[in-house]
């Protein structure tokens, strides 16, 4: 998972960072484990969301600062007949990380190639998790029939076929960042995945919390579909009898 908000984002946060810097320097470093992650399902999301995904969001920065990229790796599994989304924190392979960084420096969107997708899929889980100072990640997977009033009224989300809404809470060591909220609104299918709108907001510490919001688009690239599930005994028995009487 990456969130690269280049020059404008850094400039906005720099003032808030000064407030907590003295306390940060004097505070002892404490070991931090991986964040707790929880999933909530609303409505009926598409069944094909199960699997591994690369999501790449192109964020439009103001004042002609160009485009920044936010990339995440998702693994969506099914547990007790419910989808569970886990954000993987081990990041991209070196080659794709370099390409993404170069795109950010040139203020251009990063578009992974088919070769990039194949390499990311092949290297899944081979890198150590990044320490992003996250405490918790709350993931909502929302089907079209589960959109709440807020999502139905928002022009970016009201036509979505599914929405993933994330709330990421940071540890004190991440000062000045307190919280990030991401909203992925899938509007249709493309190249075996999905495309749609992306919105993000960061809450930064200051005398009063400062919300910093951006928007753009995203594409979700399928890295691996869900494994085929073995059919149950009753289903196989029905298949057996369905063949009776055929000539």
Domain presence at residue 50: yes
| Cross-strand bridge partners of residue 77 | 84
| Cross-strand bridge partners of residue 39 | 139
Q: Is the pTM of this model over 0.95?
A: no
Structure tokens at 186: 């899938």
Domain hosting residue 22, numbered range: 6-242
Neighbours of 16 (CB within 10 A): 19
Q: What is the tally of structural domains in the chain?
A: 1
Indicate the DSSP class of residue 172.
G
Domain presence at residue 1: no
What's the length of the chain? Answer: 247
Q: pLDDT tens, 149-200?
A: 999 999 999 999 999 999 999 999 998 999 999 999 999 999 999 999 999 9
Domain presence at residue 224: yes
Domain presence at residue 247: no
Q: What is the dihedral of CA 130, 136, 142, 146, to 10 degrees?
A: -170
Q: pLDDT tens, 14-39?
A: 333 433 433 344 444 556 789 999 99
* Residue 88, phi then psi, degrees to nearest 5: -85, 135
Domain presence at residue 194: yes
């Amino acid at each position: 998972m990456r969130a690269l908000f280049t020059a404008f984002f850094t400039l906005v946060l720099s003032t808030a960072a000064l407030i907590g810097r003295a306390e940060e320097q004097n505070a002892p470093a404490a070991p931090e484990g991986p964040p707790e992650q929880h999933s909530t399902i609303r409505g009926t999301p598409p069944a094909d969301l199960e699997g591994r995904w690369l999501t790449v969001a192109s964020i439009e920065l103001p004042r002609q600062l160009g485009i920044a990229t936010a990339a995440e790796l998702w693994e969506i599994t099914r547990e007790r007949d419910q989808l569970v989304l886990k954000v993987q924190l081990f990041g991209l392979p070196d080659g794709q990380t370099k390409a993404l960084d170069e795109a950010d420096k040139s203020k251009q969107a990063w578009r992974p190639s088919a070769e990039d997708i194949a390499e990311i899929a092949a290297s899944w889980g081979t890198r150590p998790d990044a320490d992003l100072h996250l405490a918790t990640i709350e993931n909502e997977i929302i089907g079209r029939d589960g959109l709440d009033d807020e999502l139905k009224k928002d022009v970016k989300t009201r036509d979505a076929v599914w929405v993933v809404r994330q709330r990421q809470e940071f540890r004190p060591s991440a000062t000045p960042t307190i919280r990030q909220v991401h909203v992925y609104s899938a509007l249709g299918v493309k190249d075996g995945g999905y495309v749609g709108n992306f919105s993000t907001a960061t809450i930064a510490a200051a005398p009063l919390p400062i919300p910093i919001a951006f928007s753009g688009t995203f594409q979700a690239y399928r890295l691996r579909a869900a494994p085929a599930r073995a059919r149950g005994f009753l289903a196989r028995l029905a298949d057996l009898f369905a063949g009776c009487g055929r000539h």
